[in-house]
């Protein structure tokens, strides 16, 4: 079969279970595509063909002998922020370019236990700080829809790999939008779960109170399959919550769109910089949901103006603390010929971290310093609570909240946005992380340049099933999620 990469995850699991094809065939098919096409997309930092084929053979043996799981033999790619035992784990940074993880992140271990086959590790902004994937030490990744555009970030490699059919689905992480925004830029479905739903153990930390991992795929259905493998309590992550996990696949039709109250925040649709095409496509998708029976309700989210400043204090503050462990002593990059210990610290960190990471360490350290802690960090924490309360109040009147995922479509590679311009592009995603809520991006059309536009639906705590179900039903009556970039149509 030459078109194995066109199958949905459900079709793949059915084909494997009925021996229409083997895991080795699918895995080889994707490895061939990566070899042929990824030179243009540059989504992978590390491809692990031998390991993948060994895992595929083990999956095939299990499929034959009985005892296979639903996902046994299906391939995936991991964002290079998840620790993978025996395989390089870089977080897109020079400082970890030589780091081979001695253990698996819980998400990686769960994926293996579910029988998934790892194709390799995909590119990202350095330490997940960014919105374009250009800050990676390994260079920019291309957007499969227009190779001179960025795939978004920080999970840009995950998004590009899936959009170019170089992996059927991929893991991502989202601290301030890093699953939803690249999914939006690349025409994919991506779910950021409730904080605590997926274990953070073995995920290289950026801002620990905001970081959360989730699935990126073509459809809500595909996301549900991966979410089933990723979610769950983990004693190794004290912020992971001990709460029953839904069967996201079984629940795909569990929420009725009929009567669903969708909140439309007034403030969100008057943001300066909201692109006219993005606004139009999002409004069309809401109209479609209304035709399906949803009730659109205008709501207020009064804290909108505080999202960007609050996040860009709290996230760098946590990052400055998390990244203090990269000292050139224990692991990672070490400068050459240090004259003394201070020189070793200084030069290892100056040479090992890129400019955006250094900027955030400086901002964070400043915000946490003795004289400014109350004025900046403590104040930001108070505003963070107000942002959460704003959402909780809104959820008294509505079931979900709709927004664009990003004010624009994908930027050009090298557009060289100033830091503040780039940070403002996160306006629609940051608050979800500050409040710890789940949210999903769904593709809803294209702009005048044929670049994908995404709709974001934000849910109340633990409403992952509801979000996946609403998007699934939208995708049953629309075909935006089935559109493929020209490069994905190329055969290997
Ligand atoms: N773009 C945001 C940032 O630069 C979000 C990144 C993320 O979610 N990891 O911090």
- For residue 2, is pLDDT > 90? no
Closest ligand 1 atom, CA of 210?
8
Which residue bears the tokens 């902004």? 125
Distance 28 CA to ligand 1 centre (A): 33
Q: DSSP per residue over 139-193, as a string?
A: -PPPBTTBTTB---SSSHHHHHHHHTTSSSEEEEE-SSSTTHHHHHHTT-EEEEP
Closest ligand 1 atom, CA of 426?
1
Q: What is the mean pLDDT of the chain?
A: 97
Could you report the per-residue pLDDT of 343-364, keeping only the tens digit for each? 999 999 999 999 999 999 999 9
At residue 449, the pLDDT reads: 98
Distance 132 CA to ligand 1 centre (A): 10
Q: How is the chain split into domains, by residue range?
A: 4-257+439-485
List the one residue out of 162, 140, 152, 70 whose CA is nearest residue 111: 70
Give the residue numbers marked as catalytic: 79, 154, 178
Superfamily of structural domain 4-257+439-485: Amidase signature (AS) domain (3.90.1300.10)
At residue 1, the pLDDT reads: 60
Could you report the per-residue pLDDT of 437-456, keeping only the tens digit for each? 999 999 999 999 999 999 99
- For residue 492, is pLDDT > 80? no
Distance 299 CA to ligand 1 centre (A): 26
Q: Are 364 and 323 in contact (CB under 8 A)?
A: no
Could you report the per-residue pLDDT of 245-301, keeping only the tens digit for each? 999 999 999 999 999 999 999 999 989 899 999 999 999 999 999 999 999 999 999
- For residue 204, is pLDDT > 80? yes
CA separation, residue 209 to residues 182, 386, 421, 433 (Å): 21, 16, 24, 8
At residue 26, the pLDDT reads: 98
Distance 265 CA to ligand 1 centre (A): 22
Ligand 1-lining residues (CB < 6 angstroms):
128-131, 154, 174-178, 206, 315, 426
Mean pLDDT, residues 479-490 taken together: 96
Closest ligand 1 atom, CA of 174?
8
CA-closest residue to ligand 1 atom 4 = 130
Residue 118: phi and psi, rounded to 5, are -85, 120
- For residue 370, is pLDDT > 80? yes
Which of 136, 171, 176 best tests ligand 1's pocket when mutated (most atoms within 8 Å of CB)?
176
Could you report the per-residue pLDDT of 78-115, keeping only the tens digit for each? 999 999 999 999 999 999 999 999 999 999 999 999 99
At residue 62, the pLDDT reads: 98
- For residue 483, is pLDDT > 90? yes
Model confidence at 413, in pLDDT bands (50, 70, 90)?
very high
Model confidence at 432, in pLDDT bands (50, 70, 90)?
very high
């Amino acid at each position: 079969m030459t078109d194995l990469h066109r199958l949905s995850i459900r079709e793949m699991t059915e084909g494997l279970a009925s021996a229409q094809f083997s895991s080795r065939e699918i895995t080889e098919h994707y490895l061939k595509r990566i070899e042929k096409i990824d030179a243009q997309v540059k989504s992978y930092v590390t491809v692990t063909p031998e390991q993948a084929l060994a895992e595929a053979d083990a999956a095939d043996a299990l499929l034959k002998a009985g005892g296979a799981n639903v996902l046994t033999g299906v391939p995936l790619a991991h964002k290079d922020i998840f620790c993978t035992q025996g395989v390089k784990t870089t977080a897109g940074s020079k400082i970890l370019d030589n780091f081979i993880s001695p253990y698996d992140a819980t998400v990686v271990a769960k994926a293996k236990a579910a029988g998934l086959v790892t194709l390799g590790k995909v590119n990202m902004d350095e330490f997940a700080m960014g919105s374009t994937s250009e800050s990676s030490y390994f260079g920019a990744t291309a957007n499969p829809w227009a190779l001179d555009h960025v795939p978004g970030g920080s999970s840009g490699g995950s998004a590009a790999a899936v959009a170019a059919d170089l992996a059927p689905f991929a893991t991502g992480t989202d601290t301030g939008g890093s699953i939803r925004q690249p999914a939006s830029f690349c025409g994919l479905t991506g779910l950021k779960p409730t904080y605590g739903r997926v274990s953070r153990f073995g995920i290289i930390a950026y801002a620990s109170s905001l970081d959360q991992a989730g699935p990126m795929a073509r459809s809500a259905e595909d996301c549900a399959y991966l979410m089933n493998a990723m979610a769950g309590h983990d004693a190794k992550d004290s912020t992971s919550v001990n709460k029953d996990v839904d069967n996201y696949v079984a629940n795909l039709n569990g929420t009725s769109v009929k009567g669903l109250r969708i909140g439309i925040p007034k403030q969100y649709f008057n943001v300066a910089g909201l692109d006219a095409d993005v606004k139009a496509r999002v409004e069309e998708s809401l109209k479609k949901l209304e035709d399906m029976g949803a009730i659109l309700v205008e709501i207020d989210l009064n804290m909108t103006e505080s999202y960007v400043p609050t996040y860009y204090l709290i996230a760098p503050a946590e990052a400055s603390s998390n990244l203090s462990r990269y000292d050139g002593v224990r692991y990672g990059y070490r400068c050459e010929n240090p004259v003394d210990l201070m020189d070793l610290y200084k030069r290892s960190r100056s040479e090992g971290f890129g400019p955006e990471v250094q900027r955030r360490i400086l901002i964070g350290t400043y915000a946490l310093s003795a004289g400014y802690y109350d004025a900046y960090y403590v104040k930001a924490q108070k505003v963070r609570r107000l942002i959460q309360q704003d959402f909780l109040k809104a959820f008294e009147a509505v079931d979900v909240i709709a927004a664009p995922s990003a004010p624009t479509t994908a930027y050009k590679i090298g557009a060289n946005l100033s830091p503040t311009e780039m940070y403002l592009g996160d306006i629609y995603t940051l608050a979800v992380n500050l409040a710890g809520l789940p949210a999903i991006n769904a593709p809803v059309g294209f702009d005048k340049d044929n670049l994908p536009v995404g709709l974001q639906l934000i849910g109340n705590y633990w409403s992952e099933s509801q979000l996946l179900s609403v998007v699934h039903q939208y995708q049953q009556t629309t075909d935006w999620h089935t559109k493929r970039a020209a490069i994905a149509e190329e055969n290997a």
